[in-house]
């Protein structure tokens, strides 16, 4: 992971890092820290493209990192349009690139 190794002000304990956990991105297994935002965890693995826009098919990464701009929408455990910059990573999460608007699983909605 692309992590800061040495810092003149902050030591490793200052960084918000929970337990090391595994998750998948488009089927590939990756490591991350529990509780850190999904988008941050992907960035640490060198992944910077999170979705593709509906019409122009433009790549999107994150921009604001505070849940305000919707640039970082992805499909997480089957749920589309998740703001990955403010959604904490959990062990075993299935994270996928979102193509277009994303579709909600109709069956999941009906069973609620």
Partner 1 sequence: MTDISTDILVVGGGPAGLSAASEAASYGARVLIVESDLQLGGQLVKQTHKFFGSRDEYAGTRGYKIADILLSEIKENEQNVKVMINTTVTGYYSEDRTFTAMSGEESYMCIRAQRAIVAAGASERLIPFPNNDLPGVYGAGAVQTLMNVYGVVPGKRVLMVGAGNIGLIVSYQLMQAGVEVAAVVEAMPKIGGYWVHAAKIRRLGVPILLRHSIKEAVGERVVEGAVIMELDDKFAPTGQELRMDCDVICMAVGLSPTTEILSQAGCRMKYVPELCGLVAERDRAMRTSNPDFWSAGDATGIEEASAAMVEGRIAGLCAADSLGLPVKMTKLDEYWTRLDHLRAGEVGSKIRAGIDKVYRDKWEVRLDG
Structure token digits, residue 2: 């692309």
Stretch that binds partner 1, among 9-17, 22-30, 94-102 (CB under 8 A): 9-17
Q: How many residues bind partner 1 (CB under 8 A)?
A: 46
**Does residue 44 belong to the site contacting partner 1 (CB under 8 A)?**
yes
**Does residue 28 belong to the site contacting partner 1 (CB under 8 A)?**
no
User: Which has the closest alpha carbon to 79: 112, 55, 49?
Assistant: 112
Cα dihedral 35/13/9/66 (nearest 10):
10
Q: Note whether 43 and 32 are within 8 A (CB).
A: no
Q: Note whether 51 and 74 are within 8 A (CB).
A: yes
* Closest separation in Å from C-beta 24 to partner 1: 19
**Does residue 58 belong to the site contacting partner 1 (CB under 8 A)?**
yes
Degrees, nearest 5: CA angle 94-61-11: 80
Q: Which does 16 bind (CB under 5 to 8 A by kind): partner 1, ligand FES, none?
A: partner 1
**Does residue 19 belong to the site contacting partner 1 (CB under 8 A)?**
no
Q: Which does 15 bind (CB under 5 to 8 A by kind): partner 1, ligand FES, none?
A: partner 1
**Does residue 60 belong to the site contacting partner 1 (CB under 8 A)?**
yes
């Amino acid at each position: 992971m692309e992590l800061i190794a040495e810092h003149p002000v902050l030591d490793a304990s200052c960084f918000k890092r929970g337990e090391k956990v595994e998750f998948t991105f488009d089927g590939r297994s990756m490591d991350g820290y529990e509780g850190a935002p999904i988008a941050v965890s992907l960035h640490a693995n060198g992944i910077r493209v999170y979705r593709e826009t509906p019409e122009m098919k433009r790549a999107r990464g994150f921009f604001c990192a505070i849940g305000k701009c919707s640039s970082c929408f992805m499909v997480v455990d089957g749920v589309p349009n998740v703001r990955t910059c403010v959604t904490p990573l959990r062990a075993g999460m299935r994270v996928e690139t979102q193509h277009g608007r994303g579709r909600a699983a109709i069956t999941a909605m009906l069973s609620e």
